[in-house]
Structures are given as structure tokens and as C-alpha cells.
Amino acid sequence: MMIIICMLLLASCEDSIVTKESEIEKRYRVVPIGMIAEDDASDEALRAVWVSQFDMHPIYRDGGRQRAKQDYARLVEVMLDNLIRDGFNTVLLQVRPNGDSMFVSDIYPTSKYVAGSYGGSVEYDAVGIYLDSAKKKGISVHAWINPYRLCYEEELIAYGRGILYEWYCEGIGKRIERAPDGLLYLDPSYDEVHSLIADGASEILAEYDFDGIHLDDYFYPTEFEFDDLYEFSQSGYSDLGEFRRSNTEKTVRALYEAVHGYDGRVFGVAPAGNIYSLESGWYIDIYGWLSSDGYVDYIMPQLYYGFNNATCPFDTVLTDWCNAVKNDGIKLYIGLSAAKCALGSEGFADAYAGSSGKYEWRDSKDILARSCKAALNVSDGVCIFSYSSFYDPITGKSNPLTDEERTAFIEVKGS
């Protein structure tokens, strides 16, 4: 109840989805990406919140069906008014968590979080309504996507069509991998996978007035090992880690170029906060990204750590991230976790913080405030994970589990 990520909605019937997908199946044999370099970065500090599919699911749907349009619009207004009142200026809205889409897409099936089932139909365009309302209120909205993570195997089989299903039918291990729990992932060893992901981002920006595209930390999964030894053997690389880092680089570069094909749009990534593990754990050459052009306009590490964390104390990791950004054209934003505040209020220990930080989130109610103050001294802004950890998505009331932390955080953020 403190995990949150956001989603968007679609407007079209299932028959139209089938027609559109059949028309574009051949598109992903090539990678047509245009490059233009133009970004529009504001001098104002970012004060953002992640709005996940879990935040939006109870707003999208009611009683097993899509919520009535007028009621949905009202709940979106409540959410945005909460954020404006508390000084936020940006929303990172989840539109693609599982190889799906919160709007009617030519490329990806509709999301179960808005349509009730993977590839289901919707009655109106929830994403369009959200954006229209946000623009009128002066809130910037970025589309948040997961690049590799897809739906569960049984969901794709039940859907039974489209490019992802076609690749699945060619066999596990050829563009699509399967985790032990049945969750599917795209394999970035293939150029057509990079093309699909980049074309999905281009479609979002062509259809909607988002201010940018945002990725979180779901690159190579850490829960299981990809079976990509054949692809590695054909790659010419002698080191598997180097091969995988090159694949992640291709994905990020393709997305950067796709986003910069639209004037004034920006592209950023929110990697895991432990900067020391990214190279071998997520296969990200983070130091290369942050010293070069053509990867990201901003980086937003998820520094979900207390100050007493035995492995990654907040202030130490913050300093190391600041030192890693060598390119003056790249902005540094800091991701903070309100979800950990809520868990701490319920008495849960921080299992990975060591004995020194095990109960820091339980015993302290100003960790976010202190983190925000430290971050704003050295970075370009902060982002909170996530909306539901601060507010109830339906009533709009503040979450009692994080009320003290939220109040202290807002005072620092607005000063």
C-alpha cells in the first residue's frame, strides 16, 4: 500500500486495435530514428512525484469496469490540486509498465490497469483527460515507461496477436525472455527490440503533449539471469558484461534520439541509487553516460536510503552521484522514497540498511526533509515515490502513515 507507479488510458475498441497492429507488424524489422538536439530545461528546481499504475488503477477503474468519465476527471482534478497545494510542479506518469499502454496504441496492447485485461477495450481517453487538466493547472507531465519488462506469459497468450505475440511464438530466447515467475522481458541483444522501444516513445510524443520521456531502473532484471549466451557468442564481445552494457547503451541512445526528434522534449533515467552496483548489476555504464552527450538530459538516481544506512548512507551516495555528473548539460535530480516512510510507520525494518539503519525509518520522521535539504543544495530538484504514499488516490486525503514526513518535507521543499 505504499508502492505506486502510474498509468494512462486509451480510447478505442478491440477490433480497431487488431487492425492497427496488423498494419504495423513489419515496422520493427528496422530502426528508423531521427536525431535532433534541442532541449528546453527550466531554471526552476524540479519538484516532482512519480504517479504509478498502482496509484492510478483505483482512479481508472471502479467496480470491475472503467470509471465513469466525469468521475475520473474529478479524481484527476483532486490529485493535481493536492500536488499544486503542496508545491509540486511535475508529474512522472506511468504509461507503460508491462509492455502495454494506458492509451490506445498502434504498437502495444492496452494495459490491464486501465482496460481490465491485457489488450482490453476502453471507453474514453484517460491519458488525454489527465494531460489536459494538468496543462490547465500549469503542471508539467512526463511519460514514464519501462523498456524491457513485459506482461505475464499467460496474458500475452490470451491476447494472442501483435508484434510481441509474434516474437513470443518464435520462441523464448529469441527477443523475449521468461523469468521463473512467468513474467516476460524483451531481450536488448536485438536491434529490432531497440527499435520497438524507441518507436513506442515516439508514438507517445506524437499523440500527446508530454514534456518528455522518463525511464526507471528496469533494465536487465536482477531477479534472474538472462539466457543470452548464444547472442553473446555471436556478438564479437569477449566479456558478457561489456556486451550487455552495450545493449543497454543502444536502448538509451535510441530513446534519446527518438525524444529529441520532438522540439523541447527531454529524456531522463531514474537508475537504482547504488551507483557502485550499476555496472555489474543493471549493466549500465553510468559514468560513461554522465560524461558524454547523447544519452540523457537528466539523471534521477533513486536514493531510497536513510542517513544511517550501513552500505549506502544518503549523504555519501549523494556526493558520489554529484561527482559522477561530468557533463554540464546533464541535470541531476534526486529520487526520494515516501514509501519507506510509510513502511517505517508500520514498524517494518529496512532489511538492507544494516544494524545501524535498520529502524531509522521507523524512529525518525524527518528523513525526507533532511534528504530534500541536502539534495537541493547540490542538485537541480527532487522527486517523490510515490503519490499514494502521500495521498489517498480516491479521497485525496493525506496518508496518516506519512503525514509528519510529508509536512516536514513540504516545508523544506518550498523554502
pLDDT in tens, 221-264: 998 999 999 999 999 999 999 999 999 999 999 999 999 999 99
pLDDT band of residue 20 (cuts 50, 70, 90) is very low
pLDDT band of residue 218 (cuts 50, 70, 90) is confident
C-alpha to C-alpha distances, 257 to 33, 81, 237, 288, nearest whole angstrom: 7, 34, 25, 17
The answer to whether residue 368 is domain-embedded is: yes
pLDDT in tens, 65-83: 999 999 999 999 999 999 9
In this predicted structure, the answer to whether residue 36 has a pLDDT above a threshold of 60 is no
pLDDT in tens, 362-389: 999 999 999 999 999 999 999 999 999 9
Confidence (pLDDT) at 235 = 97
The answer to whether residue 169 is domain-embedded is: no
Beta-carbon count within 10 A of 15 CB = 9
In this predicted structure, the answer to whether residue 56 has a pLDDT above a threshold of 70 is yes
Percentage above 90 pLDDT, the chain: 87
pLDDT band of residue 414 (cuts 50, 70, 90) is low
Confidence (pLDDT) at 193 = 98
Where in the sequence is the domain holding 297, given as residue range(s)?
A: 11-148+190-413
Out of 17-31, 44-58, 175-189, 204-218, least confident range = 17-31
The answer to whether residue 286 is domain-embedded is: yes
The answer to whether residue 245 is domain-embedded is: yes
The answer to whether residue 381 is domain-embedded is: yes
Confidence (pLDDT) at 25 = 37
Percentage above 70 pLDDT, the chain: 89
The answer to whether residue 3 is domain-embedded is: no
In this predicted structure, the answer to whether residue 43 has a pLDDT above a threshold of 70 is no
Overall average pLDDT of the 152-165 stretch:
98
Over the chain, what is the mean pLDDT? 90
Confidence (pLDDT) at 217 = 87
Confidence (pLDDT) at 274 = 96
In this predicted structure, the answer to whether residue 10 has a pLDDT above a threshold of 90 is no
The answer to whether residue 172 is domain-embedded is: no
In this predicted structure, the answer to whether residue 31 has a pLDDT above a threshold of 80 is no
Cell 545493449, residue? 247
Confidence (pLDDT) at 415 = 58
Confidence (pLDDT) at 6 = 37
Confidence (pLDDT) at 391 = 98
In this predicted structure, the answer to whether residue 40 has a pLDDT above a threshold of 80 is no
**Whole-prediction pTM:** 0.89
In whole angstroms, what is the distance from residue 63 CA to residue 85 CA?
30
The three cell numbers of residue 206 are 506524437
Q: Indicate which CATH number applies to the domain containing 245.
A: 3.20.20.80
240, HSE (Cβ side, Cα atoms, 13 Å): 12
Where b means 16+ CB within 10 Å and e means fewer, 236-266 reads ebeeeeebbbebbbbbbbbbbbbbbbbeebb
Overall average pLDDT of the 139-168 stretch:
98
In this predicted structure, the answer to whether residue 158 has a pLDDT above a threshold of 70 is yes
Whether residue 338 contacts residue 368, with contact meaning beta carbons closer than 8 Å, is answered with: yes
Overall average pLDDT of the 117-123 stretch:
98
Q: Structural domain tally of the chain?
A: 1
What are the backbone dihedrals phi and psi of residue 208, each rounded to the nearest 5 degrees, phi first? -135, 155
The answer to whether residue 383 is domain-embedded is: yes
pLDDT band of residue 5 (cuts 50, 70, 90) is very low
Cis peptide before 371 (omega within 30 of 0): no
The interaxial angle of helices 338-345 and 403-413, nearest 10 deg, is: 150
Confidence (pLDDT) at 44 = 83
**SS3 labels along 282-322:** HCCCHHHHCCCCCCCCEECCECCCCCCCCCCCHHHHHHHHH
In whole angstroms, what is the distance from residue 160 CA to residue 158 CA?
5
The three cell numbers of residue 214 are 522518463
Q: Is the sign of the CA dihedral 52, 55, 56, 57 positive or negative?
A: positive
In this predicted structure, the answer to whether residue 160 has a pLDDT above a threshold of 50 is yes
